[in-house]
Amino acid sequence: MHNETLNGSEDPDKIELFDTIVNPAHYTKGRVFEPVEVIEDWNLDYQMGNALKYISRAGRKGSLVADLQKAIFYLERRISIEYERSWHE
């Protein structure tokens, strides 16, 4: 994704705000692919997409352990959903 501006404005504060919303460094810096692009390309559901998101940013924004715990939380929820579905088939 390219740096863009809000409403075509060249205001540096707005460019920085746009970048922190659309291209946050903890997802994009030094990366070829943004997690959101992978999530969309792979058509991941909510839980698996969030797990990927937290794994991809682990240690880049806040605590590595906290992000990995969040990823595990979403993976465990996805596994629970799959178990529920299999019980109802």
Residue 88 in domain: yes
**How many Å apart are CA 48 and CA 89, to the nearest integer?**
22
Average pLDDT over residues 11-28: 67
Residue 12 in domain: no
**How many Å apart are CA 55 and CA 53, to the nearest integer?**
6
pLDDT at 16: 60
**How many Å apart are CA 56 and CA 83, to the nearest integer?**
26
Cβ atoms of residues 5 and 14 within 8 Å:
yes
pLDDT at 4: 44
Q: What total number of domains does the chain contain?
A: 1
Give residue 57's domain range.
44-89
**pLDDT of 32 strictly over 50:** yes
**pLDDT of 6 strictly over 60:** no
Residue 84 in domain: yes
pLDDT at 48: 98
Residue 73 in domain: yes
**How many Å apart are CA 83 and CA 35, to the nearest integer?**
27
Residue 19 in domain: no
